[in-house]
Amino acid sequence: MEYFDARRKPHNVGKIIAALVLTTLCIFVLKQSPGFGGNSVFSLHEPGVTHVLITGGAGYIGSHAALRLLKDNYRVTIVDNLSRGNMGAVKVLQGLFPQPGRLQFIFADLGDQKSVNKIFAENAFDAVMNFAAVAYVGESTLEPLRYYHNITSNTLLILEAMASHGVKTLIYSSTCATYGEPEKMPITEATPQFPINPYGKAKKMAEDIILDFSKSKGADMAVMILRYFNVIGSDPEGRLGEAPRPELREHGRISGACFDAALGVIPGLKVKGTDYPTADGTCIRDYIDVTDLVDAHVKALNKAEPRKVGIYNVGTGRGRSVNEFVDACKKATGVNIKIEYLSRRPGDYAEVYSDPTKINKELNWTAQYTDLKESLSVAWRWQKSHPHGYGQN
């Protein structure tokens, strides 16, 4: 026979009541928390706050853009699949702006339509800055289909998501590579576009898609397309820099190769092409500091207007040869870098530099960091203190 002790009943009831009270309290606290039920601050439009989606925000240029927007009190969402970007850059930004509602990072592939739609459905974006792209001319000639998928197709998916979710402002990161080899210098926005490599062609196709969509009935898009030239430099305060993956160094920017040679990572610098029709036989390029480039993006965002499209070259207006660049890099690093001269790189062109008159006039933007040696010195300081990029130093 079981023995029942009536004295235990009140004790058990008390435990049950306490558990119910605790559960109710937990549910209440969860409901008040920013992420419960998708009602985070990132999912709500807030008066006086502009929420910008930065695709490719873990990359070199995208991370610098995120830093500037966060400094200017924008709300920022970074979407990146980290195939070219660095989580270390995101962590730097998170450390600088830890306050709730300032910055969120979403790991996603912009080629995945379901993921893109989910991101737009769960967040209230006011504008998109699209930096995400593979961006090496030489690599594009080796893997053209990858470039058309990554640049052109992914831009289409982003536009479809913007249309479905009522996001009307797009700042598009394009390139001077869409011009190919113009017959006349400097390049203006009216210069015909005849790209000669898959990178430039993929960007030109993406531009055409954007322009066609912006003209469609009911689109009401505010579009800014920035065609920029050769990007150098890094954050003047040394918080961010450029850190390409080791396997991509051979395709990367000349500044990265110069720094690798100065650090002894590679035995010397390979200059590809000495027989171009230029004064010293090497390519001529317009080198734009990343700080100036980001400033152009912010000014474009502030000037973007519904049913209007702005197309701008972003450069200094001055061309420098590769030999001039190498000399500046030697001075910036203090290292007598060994130079090896090789044949031309596939898909390259002899001379490219901008006429920035239009962006000067319409966006009140002018390049401020035009001293080549100084821009390289700033970038070199970051490289020296981060010999392994954002990894363990």
Cα dist. 69→77, 223, 282, 301 in Å?
11, 18, 37, 10
What is the per-residue pLDDT for 14? 59
- In the three-class reduction of DSSP (H, G, I as helix; E, B as strand; rest coil), residue 322 is classed as helix
pLDDT bucket at 38, cuts 50 / 70 / 90: very low
Task: Considering only residues 152 and 138, tell me which one the structure prediction assigns the higher pLDDT.
Answer: 152
- Whether 16 maps to a domain, the answer reads no
- Whole-angstrom distance, CA of residue 257 vs CA of residue 332: 14
- What's the confidence (pLDDT) of residue 29? 35
Residue 195 lies in a domain: yes
Pairwise CA distance, residues 172 & 159, whole Å:
11
> Is 40 among the domain residues?
no
pLDDT of residue 15: 58
Q: Note down the domain range covering 195.
A: 51-385
Tokens of 373: 């040696």
Q: Tell me: the pLDDT tens digits for 147-191?
A: 999 999 999 999 999 999 999 999 999 999 999 989 899 999 999
Q: How far is CA 187 from the centre of its chain?
A: 24
pLDDT by residue (tens digit) across 315-345? 999 999 999 999 999 999 999 999 999 999 7
Domains of the chain: total? 1
Q: Which of 199, 228, 287, 312 is catalytic?
A: 199
Q: Report pLDDT for 223.
A: 98
- Of the CA atoms within 13 Å of residue 282, those in its CB half-sphere come to 19
Distance CA 313, CA 177 (A): 11
What would the mean pLDDT of 222-240 be, rounded to a whole number? 97
Q: Which residues pair with 107 in a beta bridge?
A: 80
* 33 is a domain residue: no
Report if residue 184 sits inside a domain: yes
CATH number, residue 124? 3.40.50.720
Residue 71 has pLDDT above 90, yes or no: yes
Q: Which of 177, 208, 207 is closest to 195 using CA atoms?
A: 177
**Which tens digit of pLDDT belongs to each residue from 107-136?**
999 999 999 999 999 999 999 999 999 998
- Where does the pLDDT of residue 37 fall: very low under 50, low under 70, confident under 90, or very high at 90 and above? very low
Token pair listed for 180: 């190919």
Residue scoring higher pLDDT (93 or 271): 93
Q: Which residue has the higher pLDDT, 233 or 27?
A: 233
Q: Which pTM does this prediction carry?
A: 0.88
Domain annotation covers residue 37: no
11 lies in some domain: no
Q: Is residue 203 part of a domain?
A: yes
199 is catalytic: yes
